[in-house]
Each structure stands twice: as structure tokens, then as C-alpha cells.
Structure 1
Amino acid sequence: MRIAKVIVDVPAKQTNRPFDYAVPPHLQPWIDIGSRVGITFGPRRLQGFVVELLDGEAGHESGQGSDASLWGAANPSGQEPGVTRDAGQAKRRHVKLKAIEQVLDPEPPLNKELVDLARWMGSTYICPEITAMMAMLPAALKANYERKVEWSDPRESRQASAPGLLPEEERLAAFIRQKGPLTLEALAEKFPGQTHVIRSWLAEGLLTEVQTMKDRLSKKTVQTAYAALPAEELTAIARDLPASRARQQMLLERIAALPAGEGIAVAELLAETGASASTVKTLAGKGWITVEAAEVFRDPYAGRYFERTQPLPLTPEQQQVYDEIADAVDARRAETFLLYGVTGSGKTEVYLQSIQRCLDQGREAIVLVPEISLTPQMVERFKGRFGDLVAVLHSRLSTGERFDEWRKIAQGRVKVAIGARSAIFAPFRQLGLIIIDEEHESSYKQEESPKYHAREVAVKRAEAYGAAVVLGSATPSLESYFDTRQGGGIRLLRMAARVEGRPLPEVYVVDLREELKEGNRSMFSRRLHEGIASRLEREEQMVLLLNRRGHSTFVKCRSCGYVSGCPHCDISLTYHQVNRTLRCHYCGYTEQEPAICPECGSTHIRYFGTGTQRVEEELAKLFPGIRVIRMDVDTTTEKGSHEKWLTLFRERKADVLLGTQMVAKGLDFPHVTLVGVIAADTVLNLPDFRSAEKTFQLLTQVAGRAGRHHLPGEVVIQTYTPEHYSIEAASRHDYGAFVQRELEMRRTLGYPPYCRLILVTLTHEQLPLLMKTGERLAEQIRVQGQLLTPALELLEVLGPVASPIPRIKDRYRFQCLVKYRGTADVASLVSRTADLLGEHLKQHKLQIGIDVNPQVMM
């Protein structure tokens, strides 16, 4: 007998371990490690994943199995009846194991490497293994669970017409027996007056509540016509048909012309020939053709033509970098490279040729780019080089399109996956290369459980396959750059010059304080105003960056000082002029624009701060006829909106591309000669130790959009703090100077890369309880940490203190920041400490979040 260890789809602490299930003989050929299976777990029917297979011994029976700690079954031994950690223990206890009921996929959606990776993620990022596994799968395979009722009368002889049942109750019983299991909603709709009967039957045990599951999406099929006879026979039949049956003749000839074994979609066939569906039905009835439902892949790029491109000659710098990467790929050496290349140095061409080297060896590649950089332009470059070997995974695809792109990878139909963060889990089995472009981006860190960092996951996957990892950026993260200097296992590769020796753009820093002194109260400095005017005159294009959407950042009464705030979050509401609403960008709360102050009744309501909508409005006033495309969250929600706006800009149907940070990366337009940063201080003033680094990166990246081709570029940075070292360094394109100054600051304050961090956040509706629990947790972490010396060189717990945004969605937020150095597993220590408070947290419904190596401190 075979026994499968299954991780069940219940993301809870009590169930974060494998449970034993018997594998029925008829399912054994279909079950492997990584298989998704249907099981009964306690009273529920769930999906689970097989993580290990063991050979049991004769006499082992399948049958019972539940989770006592979850369902409250009495069990003095403290062990779940019929669910054990190993087959030997099961045999000794003579328990009956429940059997796996169903295999949900013909091929396992996870391979052994991904199952092992989920286990590693569970311990590294303090999350249930099932949560890590679900993060690896497309949404279509995340089962929907429904509660239904079915007939369960133990008296099998009882009929629907049993004595004592009223006629309407007899109809209800018969309907449930015939159609069940059924949802309570379906029964209430069908029998609206029988709710009390259904409730009483549930209480008596005549009806049982069960849980069913189904995938959120099915494979797409289309009706397809195939030849039922050899092509020669079909052609002869078509030739012999009378002229009055010309449509049938055309259909037969079209199908006869298909390659052997291939079919044609009926809709396509009818469109080509002008025939009707009845004609197809007639031919099928005669046995000349067959019509079947054939599976097809949803293609987000169907109908798009990508012109095939050839590799470009490499510059000496590019060639040197390529040779280093190719050597690691050839040797199947798990090595990590940091490719530091200035904007416009040709990193993408190095990526493309390195991928080709990988494909030539029959291996596969993953390319990660930030979601905002996953532009049609980027997709076009990869599709143009590798054609149908490329799958694209990103959030703007429909659920079905994303599912089918994932299936192409799983079935080996493609060899390259390009996508945002979650594409790191592409189910390849022969990985040779992983590229992470703009590796410094904080979006590579997931903020919900599992709180993984794609960079760390990439290195772990590469170890399993002997694959190379390339981290590319014009502004590498300090942690990655520090690792190249300190023997952290990352090799530094440099590309310091732009392709063809093109100069970096000239950068001008404008002090907005001086502008105000000289009477300029416009959002545009005189230099930026002149730059826009001259570009309009020369018919060149511009990119303007303001990392703040909306019209105004807050609304204030000038009589009493009242500021419109979100009633559910401690944050001011942002004014959106398009629909005249105030909106919270954290919880989504919306209210209408106020006509009078709700505090004092004054009409002196004013709008302060500047958002992208207001910049667009001001441009139209100052430069009549200017053509502006605004790209922010508000204008890019519809599917295809990114592509639409960028295509219009590429075709020079707009003068200005205005937006938030989504316009700062991944864009290459030959006629952009001016980049303007409206307010460089928006990120700099955030309460985050990385704010200077993020400011330098954003300014350097957006500056790199100018002068990338034959026209020289100019950048205007507007700021109230021109003396800040991050802005000074960005104006000189001097990464080295910034790194030196920032590392000194980090060393002095004791922040990464000189230590590691864990952020623990507690939330609750009651502030006093939250503060008391936070203090108790912080003290317990300090006490537990004292037991880990000498493996722990430093353990410092800061807090608990209110989070920078103290309340979101009516829940107060307090956080503790754990700083540490050494080899001790502090993440597990924090997790164990939280477990000690488990009963207290559960009793008071306190929520706790543990973020290992956090990227966002808000």
C-alpha cells in the first residue's frame, strides 16, 4: 500500500504539517509529489498537495482521519485520530487512514523542486507551507469551496412519499435526493416557503451539510471540425455533390485541405465559407466529418504580429559581461551576478543574448521585471527575439489568459517566462538562467503572506538547477551592492557607458525655495517652463514625473484648519477632480467634495498639495493645445490601458507623458529630450530608513528616459532640499558617491546591510489592549534572544510604537522592529514567541504579521 503525505488547504498553525492518506490502487499511477488531490479533512472536502510518498505495509486500512485540534474531537492522547507523521507509526497504532478521493490534474502542478521551495519559504518567511504553494499557482487552480446540503437519512427504505410528510415536503425531499448536493440559496429559491423544514431536517440529521470544491476556471474549449475520412475520399465526395450544395462542397474541400489529424474551429470554418451551423451538422450526420470540443489556449497576444529581430553587435563592455554570464550558464554553475549598468547601457541586449545561450543548451529562463516596467515595449523585444517560446505573466491578463500562459510553461510549450514578481514560480524543470531587471525595486517583495522576496527565491531556485542569476540595475540596492564587496556570494559586473557613447543627460536642480522668493508660485519652475515651451516648439517629447496621483493631496478649511480625513484610517483624503470626490488610497473610502466645512460651516474650503490631475490641468492652462497623456492608477485600471497610452505616445500623438513612478522605468522613446521631476521630495520625507535610497533610485531612473537616442537629453529636478546628498548624487549620475554616504549613515544607525530586520505588526480595534500586548511581545522576544548567544551577536527590539499609519480600516496598528546580527535563526525565535501568545491573540482577536527583511516600513 502507498501512503501519501498531504499538505491540506487550511492555512492555520495547527494544520501546517503533512497528514497521511492512503493512495487507492487505481490512483497510484496518477499521483506523484506535487499532485493536487481531493481529500476529506474532518467534515470538509478540501484540496491538498502531495509532498511525499511512502510504501506502507500489508494490512494497512484506509478510512478514518480528521484533525482533532481543529475540529474539537475528544482525544486524550493529544494526537489526531488516524492522521500521523509517518507510516510506521500508523501501522503500530493500527489506525485506518482515509483514502485520497480524487486527483485534480492529469499532471502535478508542482514539481518536487517547488514543493521543497515551499517548505523553505514556510520556515524562512514564517508562513504555512500551503500559503507558499498557493502563491505558486495561477488563480484558476485556487479552489472555490461551497457549503451544500445533501440527503443523509440512514433509513434507506424511507421514500419521499413516507407517511407524515406534507405534499410540498415530499417534493422538497425528492428534489434534494435527485439533485443534491445543493446550496441553501438554491433550495431557498426553489422552495421559498420551506426554510423552516430545511432547518429542522438539518437538526434531525436527515440533511447533512457538506463542503464541495471546484476550480475557479476551466480550460477553454471550442467546437472543432475534423475529417472523418481520408482527404482523397472527402475531395471526391465534394466533387460529386450537386451545384445546389455548394456550401457543403466548400466545407468538405476546406477540411480535406487540413494537415492529417488537424481540425479547424467551427466558427472559423463558417466565417470562411459563409455556411451555416446546420450545414456542419448535416455533414457530421453523414459521417463525413466529426465535430468535437477541442481545448485551446487563450492568447493575450492573439492577432498581434511581432517582427522578428536579430542579435545586435555587443560593445566591449557588453561582450565582457555576456562572456561572464555565458561561462556560468555553460558550466551549470549556480552563481549570482549583479549587473550594474547605467541607463541606456544596453542591459536588455545582454539579457536577450544570455537567454539565447541558455536555450541553445535545451534549458529555460525566467525574466522578472517590475509590474510597472512590464510594458508592451518590453514584451515586444522578447517576443520579437524568441517568438512563441515566450510566455508573459502579469496582473493585467485575465484569469483565463494567465492560467493558459502558466499551462504553456508547465507543458513545456515555451522556454522563456517574462513577468512580474510571481513569475519566479514558473514551473520550469530545466532552469538555466534567472534575470531580475531593476533588482532594486521594492515591488519584488510581497507585502501579503507569504512575504517573500523574489530575489531571495531566485537564488534558492538557481541552487536546485545549477542556474545563473543576473540582478540588473542602474541603481542597485545597497544590500546587493554591499554583498559584492563583502564576499556575500554576488559577483559585480559593470557597464559604465551608454551604447554608441551617447552622453548621459544634463541634470539641473532647481531650488523651489528660491523660486518662491522671486515670486514664482507656479508648480513649474522657470527652467522647466522654458524647457516645456522649447520642446513644444521643436516638436520633441517630454516625460513629467510626480509620484502622487489625484488632484490635491488634502482638503483643508482655511477658517478653522479642519483637514478631511478618512473615518477608517489615520490618513487624509485625496481630492480627485474628475468625479469631484475625496478618496482614501488605503481602504477605498470615498465621499463627495465638501461645499462647506463640516466643523465650522465655513465655505473657505481649499485644496492643497499637488497630484497628477492638477498638473495636467495646469499644463492645459499654461500651454494651450498641449497634448498630455496621464498615466497613474486612475487612468490605467482598464485592461490594455497601458498599451493604449504608450502606443499613442510612441506614435507621437502626445507631447507629454505625465505620471507617477510607472513612467520612470522601462520606457525607451527616441524623441524624449526633457524629463521634469515636479517634486523630488515626495519619497524623501517618508518615515523610512530607505527613503534617501528610493529617492536616488527614482530620480536616476526617470532621468535615464531622456536623450536615449540621437537627440541630447535634459533633466530638471524641482526640490525644496537641493542640498540633500541623494539629490546631489542623482544630479551627477554618481552612484558611487551616494553609496559611500548612505552606507556611512546606515553603519552609524545600525540598519541593513549592517544588520537584518524583522518587522512585527499587531492590529486591533482597542488601543490599550494593543499596546499592552505589544509590550508583552517585545519583552518575550528580548528574553528568548538571550538564550541564543553566542550565535547572536546583536538583538535589539525597537518598540512597540504606533505604525507610521496608526490606523487602517478601523484597526489600530502597533509595530516592533527586531534588529539582529549573527547566524541565529531569529525569524523562528520571533515565530515561537508569537506562538506563546497564541491563546491570548486568539481570545482577543488580535492579528499579528511577521515580515522578514521588510521593504516597506509603513
Structure 2
Amino acid sequence: MTFAVDEAMRPGLRTGMRVMVQLGARKFYAGIVSRLHDEPPAYKTIKPIVRIVDEREAATPEQLRLWEWISSYYMCPPGMVMRAALPAKLKLDGYSEDETLRSGYRAPLVPYIGLHPAVGSEEQLHVALDSLSRARTQHRAVVEYLARAGFLPGEEDDSRSPEASPAAQYPAGDLPDGEIPVGTPGKGGFAFGEAPLVPRAALGVSSAVIRALVERGIFRQVDLERQPGGEDSFAVEGAVIAPLPVLTDSQQQAYEAIRSGFAGKEVVLLHGVTGSGKTEIYIHLMAERLAAGGNVLYMLPEIALTAQLIERMRGYFGDRVVVYHSRLSDNRRAEVYRELLASQGGRLVVGVRSSVLLPLPHLSLVVVDEEHENSFKQADSAPRYQARDTAVVLAGLCGAKTLLGSATPSMESYYNALCGKYVLVALTERYSGVSLPQVLLSDTLRAARRGEKRSHFNKLLLDRIEEALVRGRQVMLFQNRRGFSPFVECGNCGWTASCPDCNVTLTYHKSDGSLRCHYCGYHTPLPPRCPSCGADDLQPRGFGTEKIEEALAEIFPDAVIDRLDADTSRTAHGYRRIISAFERGQTDILIGTQMITKGFDFGNVSLVGILNADNLLNYPDFRAGERAFQLMMQVGGRAGRRSEQGTVVIQTGQPSHPVLAQVCSGDYEAMARMQLAERQSFLYPPYCRLISLTLRHRDRTLLWEAANRFGDSLRRVFGRRLLGPEAPPVDRIRGQYLVRFLLKIEKQSSAAEAKRLLAGLFDTLHRDKAYRAVELIPDVDPQ
């Protein structure tokens, strides 16, 4: 939208600034200025900007250009891109100017310490210090303040330990006479009456000690707002704290190949097998860029992976590490955003998908770890961006380099490397020369025929679990479904519990006796009898992680068993407890969903079990083979990462499946050749672009009428490139029915022109009042 700028406001207004505007009769909002111009809009009434919210920009020029690209490429209004990028506390709204401003971010208050006005001379200071002769901690705090404030000679040291602090030069009773200037500028250029403020945290004593000195009339405390980029914000002293990890010969070769690749290309793809030590290479590249004063973005696919990585990164880079993800509080997210906006470089931002939307001035390097992960794709709400691809665009806008890393690269990235768009660097050896795990296939049908199946486990897997436990080793079991069982069925009439708002069965969670919908969150207690026929014969069907945990506890009663899934890790504390216990060896068997498949480095895991590989292989999607291979290789890579070769047991009813043969041999290239050949034959990515179009409405009949009419107009333009309309597997979610189309666009055709035509055809449909409430959800490059 276009707003009028008052002449008095014009000199201080710049693109990227937040301004307050009034929409409607009462509501006020804050938005960001994307462009200043003199072109009158088509509408006559132009509302004025009410006020400028901040003195400085709230978005960098690179951010604004990235938002514009996301809006255009992913077919999303620019306002929705801005709302996704800005933390909640920076998106203001209210029914008055004051209410709107109060709804926003408030900087944390930082306590500062200064000398009390009563201590106005050297004599008064010595009297105060003499009074503390028996309170050694308080005495040290005063001397620490004097040293950090510049009253005492000598170099300052930012270490917080008492032995290394400035006060260590002046122990109690040993303050030299004549060293404290009175009424004349000291080292800091001030006099006693202008004693500066020092952050309370810099004194290295408890708040009780400070409170006692305030009560004695020696100190005064002032709480000030933390300023972005100020001395009280993220520390930046020293590029590296701990010595960088020593690279093996193969890692060193890969590191040099990446640096050489960056000399000629903007993007490098690092294909390193699981356990090869890709992270050590990342650390060296990050240290190099940070030392040069640049910012680095390190993207991970899931929040669950950040805890171990953050601890490790802070060991090398200290307070240069900045963390950003959705589990931070709203105020903390806004604080990180403002800090980065004011950054002069030297920050390592560790984050998930949304971190690519942060302000990153002086960006020098982007590292996307596990780049193949589909969790980098925002699928639930607009903008439906692919963070990996967006990171490549961001790096290009900032003149930075991008490193994509994976043990099982996506077909799109691998194809780009084969075509020469990216540089491909291979790391084929595991760290310390440990062999890749041995992969064994266990035929579930054969085991059932021979009576070698107990509960959900084949004899081969149970024997290997017992062997590992006897040897004091740990076991990880992967089941890609949480809950106790996928559905509950009546053994008498066949009734199944379904969600009232979604066309999907409810998952049974035995821990709280509930039936839950994993799409909309609906839940209800398990009924004691069948609601249809009244029979007392409700049976759980299938199995999830909860049922696996119960069955294993019966088979191995002496083993300590835990599970990691969305139910047990709803809080950061719950997640850390589970991971820490397994890392310390307190847990023998860890059962989990995809959360356990990547990123973790547990040295005592000798066995990994994959319980139902057929669910992965038989998923109705052209990416099923690729994803099954990636998932099985990733979870299998958790085994045997130290001194001995690990074992992976895969339970399947299709032991002759070609993807399983590729997993057994660890042959990524064979899998890639097969998948790329199939996709070229049937015209799927990376040989074309896909746009998924979903129509949504509560009235099923009206929706299908609109879909057929829209489909006819699309087919007249796009012909056989269009697939659909069709109902998706789950065709009703949260009370709304869904109909989908899939549009294929050849690489040589203009995707931008196709999007323009799509938007125009849907606008034509919307002009019909009957279909005005039908919603279109475009998803470019669906995953």
C-alpha cells in the first residue's frame, strides 16, 4: 500500500524503517517502508504515515531485496513475508498510538554500578575502603569497579575469574596511595564527580554483595536499557576460545577443495558420509570468516539438533554464537533481531529455517547442514519458502558463499553439482578410519512364517539387541510414527475412531488414554465401549513409538528404555533430559521418530534398528525412494561412530527392493542415478519445476464446482502440464475440504510467466461471487 509522507517527516524517513499507519477507522499498525517514490496510486484517498517508530532501519537493504524475491518466487504477498521475518514483538498493532507502541519490544534492563555521590573524593574513598577491611568480597568488588572504571593504572582484563581480574593487582589493604586521581581526569578521562557506570556483571560478584555496598552508601545502581551492539550485548572479544579441532588428512583435503571451489563458484556441495567429520570442516571455515570480521549463518534442519551443536560451537567461539529458533521467547527473538541488525560482523548465527530471514549485515558465509532435509521447507503457512534455496539467494545478494552439507544430498543439489552449477566435494572416509556400519536385512514375512517373530521384532533384531546390551553397548530403534498405535478398531463391527474435523483416523496414546489427531490437535478419551455397536472389543492396530517402548520393556525388563518423539520432548527440558541421559550412558535403548535420525554423535551406540522400512518405501510420492534411502542412511549412521564397526538391522517385507540394496552397500551414486533416470522419464524435479495448487473451502460441492471450472481454464493455457483436480489422501483438515492440482513447468520455460498466468486465472475465478470464498494455496517447489 502507498501512504503519504508529511514534508516535516521526509528528511528522517528511509527505506527499511518502521512506521505507524492507521487502517480502517480505529486500528493502528506498524509496517516497514519498502520504497519512497512520487508516483500517485490509482486510488484517490491516500492516508498519511502517522509517525516514524524507530530512529534507525528495522530491515537491511539485503533483507528487503530477499523479501521481494520470496514474494515473487513463492507467490506470496510481501506483507506476509514481512510478518514471517519479523519477530512478534516488532509487529505492532493497537487501537491508539500509545497502545500500539506498548505492544512492542522493550529492551531488557541492564544493571550498572557507579560510585555513590557521597564518595566524592579520594579521602572519602579510602575511608569507605577501610570500612570494608573485614568484608573482603565487598572490598574486592569496589577495587574491581575502580579498575574497570579507569581509576587504577594497568591493563584491563575481561576475564571474570578473581585471579585474572584487575582487582587481583590490589588485594585488601594494599591499595596504593596517590594512584587515585581527585578532581583531574583519570585514565578514562573523567573526575570523581563524574564516575562512570560499569555493568554489574563485570564485577564478578553476587547481587547480595552489590546490594550491601548500595546500602552502605558506597555504590549506586542504575538500570539502563540494553542497546543493540553496545558493550553489554553479545561479547565479541577473541575469534576462537578453544583450539580448533585438528583435521585428518581427508578432512584437510576436503577443506582445501572447498576453499578452492569458493574461488570459482558461489556454492559448494559437501557430500560426506555419516561420521566423516563434516562439522570440523565447518568450524574451520567459520573461524576463518569470523576472524575476517564477517557474519556467518549456520542453518540446521531442526531445533532438536541445536542443543549439542550450540554447546560445541560456544566452546570454540564463545559469546559470538547467537541462537535463533521458535522456542525462544518473543522478547528474546526480538532482542536477537535487533542485536544482529546493529552488528558490525563477527557473529555466528545458529538457527533453523526462519534464521534465513534475519538481518545479517556483513554476511560472509552460509552453511546449510543436512541440506536434503525437507524440514527446511515451510509447508504449513505462507510464505512457503525452501530455506536452503532461500539461503543460496541470500548469500548471492550479500556477496557471501554457501556451503551445503549432507551425507545424502537432495537430488536437486546433486544435479546442480553434476551440471557444474555447484562445486562437488566428496568426503568418503569416516573420522578416525572407522568403517561404515554393517547393514542387515530382516525379512518380516519369513520371520512370521518360521515363528521367529515376537511382538514387533524379528529374532535377528532381538538377538542383536541382547548381544549389544550384554557388551554394555547402547541401542537406537527407529519407528517413524509416534503414539501407541495409528488407529483403534472395533473387533466386532469394524468401527474406527476418526477426527471430526479431518478425514483421518485418531492415533491412540496409551500414556494418557487419549485419541489424538496429528493434523489439527483434536483429542478425546478412548471410549470404554464401541460407540457404534456397544461391544467391549476396541483393539489398537499397528504400532508407534509408545507401543514399541512397552513391548521392549517386557522383553528386556532389566534394560533402561526411553523414547524421543514429539510427545516426550514438548519442552526443552524434556528433550535435554532424554538426550543427556542417553549421552551419559544411563539409557540402554532409545526409541524415536525422525528426531533421532540425524545430527547426534553418541560414541557407545553399536546397534540401530529400523522397524518398518516398508512404510518409507511405499509412500505415494515420487521422492519416496530418495527419502527412504536418506532416512535409513542417516539413522544407520548413528551406529559405530568411534572405535568399532556398528550394525544396522532393517526389518522389511520387501528385502529385494532396489533401494534397500543401495542402503546395504551405501551406494548413494547408484541411488541417485536410478532416481534421476526415473524423474527424467516422467518429468519430475530436477528436470522441471513444480507448483502445487490447493483449493480450500468448507462446502465440498461448491469446492469441486470451483475446482472443475478453474481446472478447465488452467488446462486451456497449460495443457498436459497440468495434473488434477484430485482429492489428496487427507482431503479434509480443520473442517475444510481440499482439492489439488499439480503444474509441471519445463526448465526452459519461464516460471515467472507461468505464475503470472496462474494468478490471473484465479482472479478471474474469484470475480464470480459464488466462488469468492474459495481459497487458493500455491506452493512453489512442493516437498
**TM-score normalised over the length of structure 1:** 0.79
Residues 286 and 296, structure 2, Cα contact 8 Å, conserved in 1: yes
Matched, 1:823 2:773: no
Greater shift in the superposed pair: 134-143 or 616-625:
134-143
What SS does the aligned partner of 1:599 have?
Answer: coil
| Aligned twin of 1:353 | 284
With over 3 angstroms needed to count, the CA separation of the structure-2 counterparts of 1:357 and 1:245, relative to structure 1, is closer
Residue among 760, 766, 780 paired with 1:832: 760
Which piece of structure 1 moves more, 748-757 or 728-737? 748-757
Whole-Å separation in 2 of the counterparts to 1:620 and 1:650:
20
Distance across 1 between alignment mates of 2:35 and 2:228: 32
Alpha-carbon displacement from aligned partner over 1:4-41 (angstroms, at most 9, x marks no partner): xxxxxxxxxxxxxx414315536734x32211111234
Distance in 2 between residues matched to 1:547 and 1:361, nearest whole Å = 43
Structure 1 unaligned segments of length 5 or more: list them. Answer: 1-17, 57-64, 66-77, 84-96, 149-179, 182-210, 787-794
CA contact (8 A) 1:227 1:263 kept: no
Counterpart pick for 2:109 among 221, 226, 238: 221
For 1:273 and 1:596, how far apart are their aligned partners in 2? 62
Question: What is the aligned partner in structure 1 of residue 414 from structure 2?
Answer: 481
CA displacement, residues 824-846 of structure 1 (integer Å, 9 cap, x when unaligned)? 22222222222222234786422
Report the CA distance between 1:553 and its aligned residue. 0.9
The equivalent residue for 1:384 is 315
In structure 1, what is the Cα distance between the partners aligned to 2:135 and 2:683? 85
Does residue 801 (structure 1) correspond to residue 726 (structure 2)? The answer is: yes
Partner of 1:21: 4
Give the aligned partner of residue 169 of structure 2.
Answer: none
Residue in structure 2 matched with residue 238 of structure 1 by the alignment: 128
What is the CA distance between 1:101 and its match in structure 2? 2.9
| Partner Cα separation in structure 2 for residue 595 and residue 731 of structure 1 | 45
Per the alignment, residue 81 of structure 1 pairs with 44
Tell me the equivalent position of 1:708: 641
Name 1:291's counterpart in structure 2. 222
- Partner residue, 2:359: 427
Question: Which sits farther off after the overlay, 450-459 or 478-487?
Answer: 478-487
Worse-superposed segment, 763-772 or 266-275: 266-275
- The offset of 1:259, in angstroms, is 3.0
CA separation of 1:248/1:497 partners in 2, compared to 1, >3 Å: closer, same or farther? closer
* Contact 2:265–2:423 (Cα < 8 Å) also in 1: no
2:79 corresponds to: 130
Structure 2: distance between partners of 1:243 and 1:351: 52
Q: Distance in 1 between matches of 2:286 and 2:81?
A: 28
Residues 21 and 462 (structure 1), Cα distance of their counterparts in 2 relative to 1, 3 Å cut: same
Paired residue secondary structure (1:575): strand
For the residues of structure 2 that align with 1:829 and 1:848, how far apart are their CA atoms? 14
C-alpha displacement at 1:256, in angstroms?
A: 4.1
Give the aligned partner of residue 624 of structure 2: 691
Indicate if the aligned counterparts of 1:227 and 1:256 stay in contact, CA closer than 8 A. Answer: no
CA contact (8 A) 1:582 1:590 kept: yes
Structure 1 residues 540 and 247: CA distance shift in structure 2, 3 A: closer
* 1:589-628 equivalent positions in 2, closer than 5 A: 589-628=522-561
Alignment of 1:3-402 (within 5 A): 18-25=1-8, 28-29=11-12, 31-43=13-25, 44-54=27-37, 79-83=42-46, 98=48, 100-143=49-92, 145-147=93-95, 212=100, 214-227=102-115, 232=122, 235-239=125-129, 255-256=145-146, 258-260=148-150, 261-265=196-200, 271-273=206-208, 280=214, 283=217, 289=220, 291-295=222-226, 308-327=241-260, 331=263, 335-372=266-303, 374-402=305-333
SS across alignment from 2:767: helix
Task: Give the % identical residues.
Answer: 35
8 A contact 1:762–1:848 mirrored in 2: yes
Cα 1:262/1:505, change in 2 over 3 Å: farther
CA shift, 1:362, in A, is 2.0
TM-score normalized with structure 2 length: 0.86
Report the residue type matching 1:656 in the other structure: I
Instruction: Evaluate the alpha carbon distance shift between residue 617 and residue 773 of structure 1 in structure 2; reply closer, same or farther with a 3 A threshold.
Output: same
**For 2:4 and 2:24, how far apart are their aligned partners in 1?**
13
User: Is the 8 Å Cα contact of residues 28 and 95 (structure 2) preserved in structure 1?
Assistant: no
Distance 2:666 2:314 in 1: 32
The answer as to 2:595 corresponding to 1:662 is: yes
Equivalent residues of 2:706, 2:771 under 8 A apart? no
2:736 aligns with 811
Distance 1:234 1:683, change over 3 A: farther
Which amino acid in the other structure matches residue 123 of structure 1?
Answer: S
CA RMSD of aligned residues (A): 3.1
Structure 1 position 761 matched with structure 2 position 694: yes
Residue type of the alignment partner of 1:471: L
Q: Which amino acid aligns with 1:772?
A: E
Deviations 1:159-194 (A, max 9, x none): xxxxxxxxxxxxxxxxxxxxx98xxxxxxxxxxxxx
Corresponding letter in the other structure for 2:149: P
Contact 1:375 1:643 in 2 (8 A): no
Alpha carbons of structure 1 residues 798 and 273: separation in structure 2 relative to 1, 3 Å = closer
Distance 1:386 1:587 in 2: 41
Contact 1:545 1:660 in 2 (8 A): yes
What is the DSSP-based 3-state SS (H/G/I as helix, E as strand, rest coil) of the residue aligned with 1:817?
strand
What whole-Å deviation, never above 9, does each CA across 1:379-399 have from its counterpart, x for those lacking one? 122212211111111223222
Shift of 1:472: 0.8
- Does 1:553 find its partner at 2:493? no
Call closer, same or farther: CA 1:24–1:588 in 2, change over 3 Å: same
8 Å Cα contact 1:342/1:498 also seen in 2:
yes
Cα distance, 1:223 vs structure 2: 4.3
Structure 1 residue 249, shift from structure 2 partner: 8.0
Q: How does 1:732-771 map to 2 (within 5 A)?
A: 732-771=665-704
Find the aligned partners of 1:437 and 1:339 in 2 and give their Cα distance: 9
Partners of 1:597 and 1:604 within 8 A in 2? yes
Letter aligned with residue 73 of structure 2: T
* Change beyond 3 A, Cα 1:359–1:803: same
- Structure 1 Cα separation of the partners of residues 313 and 725 of structure 2: 48
Secondary structure of 2:673's partner? helix
1:488-527 CA-partner distances (Å, limit 9, x unpaired): x122111112122211000001111111111224211111
Q: Please report how far the alpha carbon of residue 342 of structure 1 lies from its aligned counterpart in structure 2 after TM superposition.
A: 0.7
Maintained 8 Å contact 1:341/1:472: yes
Q: In structure 2, what is the Cα distance between the partners aligned to 1:427 and 1:301?
A: 16
SS of the aligned residue for 1:562 comes to: coil
How many Å apart are 1:415 and its aligned residue?
1.6
- Deviation of 1:676 after TM superposition, in Å, equals 0.6
Q: Check conservation: 2:29, 2:94, Cα contact below 8 A.
A: no
Equivalent residue letter for 1:517: R
By relative contact order (CA 8 Å, sep 6+), the higher-ranking structure is 2
Q: CA deviation at 1:582?
A: 0.4
Partner of 2:390: 457
State the Cα distance separating 1:235 from its structure 2 match.
Answer: 2.5
Distance 1:267 1:280 in 2: 17
Pair 276,383 (structure 1): closer, same or farther in 2 beyond 3 Å: closer
> Post-superposition shift, 1:51?
1.6
Shift of 1:483: 1.8
Q: CA 1:630–1:280 in structure 2 vs 1: closer, same or farther (change >3 Å)?
A: same
Give the secondary-structure state (helix, strand or coil) at the position aligned to 1:723: coil
Structure 1 pair 23–364 and aligned structure 2 pair: CA distance change class (3 A): farther
CA distance in 1, matches of 2:201, 2:311: 31
Q: Contact (CA 8 Å) 1:121, 1:452: kept in 2 or not? A: yes
Query: What number of residue pairs does the alignment pair up?
Result: 724
